[in-house]
Amino acid sequence: MATRKIVELGNETLRKKSKPVVSFDSSLASLLDDMKTTMVEKNGMGIAAVQVGVLRRAVIVETEPGEYLEIVNPTILKTKGKVKKSEGCLSVPGFYTDVERPKYVKIEAFDRNGQKFEFEGEDYVARCICHEIDHLDGVLFVDLTDEGKSYKTKKGVN
């Protein structure tokens, strides 16, 4: 397991839509292992493959301290409620702003072996899942608030 470089705001890769994973093989396993190592080393709560420069629909979310959920080719099935709380991002170091996200999310996805599963999360876990799935579509949390848009303007990035 290797630590990979985090792609940061301003790099056009973050704005691209990630492609579905089609091969559930050792290459995917290595990617997921490296993503977890990178996320833990950088004190993140979630990470998307695009954040390490790989345009594949794969994310990892810390669901409880030391417990990690690997999510491949996710689809959001249902959301409920709205909560506005502070978010940050490994790809936007040092910036935090309040973002409105669902209080509850239900997803369908695959694990590293290609087994389909459903998962439900609330509060912090729902926030993390939605944040990471946004990454797969080229959306960053700074796109979702006026404060984030102002931050991007100050930094001269989109």
DSSP code at position 138: T
Q: Mind listing the pLDDT tens digit for each residue in 53-83?
A: 999 999 999 999 999 999 999 999 999 999 9
Residue 146, pLDDT > 90, answer no
Tell me the H-state helices in the chain. 26-41, 123-136, 146-155
- What does pTM read for this prediction? 0.95
**Six token digits for residue 121:** 């999360």
pLDDT of residue 126: 98
What are the residue boundaries of the structural domains of the chain, listed by start? 12-155
Give the position of tokens 């599963």. 117
pLDDT of residue 158: 77
Residue 131, pLDDT > 80, answer yes
Residue 12, pLDDT > 80, answer yes
132 is catalytic: yes
The 3-state DSSP class for residue 11 equals coil
Q: Mind listing the pLDDT tens digit for each residue in 80-127?
A: 999 999 999 999 999 999 999 999 999 999 999 999 999 999 999 999
Q: Mind listing the pLDDT tens digit for each residue in 24-57?
A: 999 999 999 999 999 999 999 999 999 999 999 9
DSSP code at position 20: P
Angle made by CA atoms 9, 59, 125, in degrees to the nearest 5 = 95
pLDDT of residue 152: 85
pLDDT of residue 154: 86
Q: Is the distance from CB of 23 to CB of 32 less than 8 angstroms?
A: no
* Fold exhibited by the domain 12-155: Peptide Deformylase (3.90.45)
Torsions phi, psi for 125 (to 5 deg): -70, -45
Q: What is the mean pLDDT of residues 124-151?
A: 95
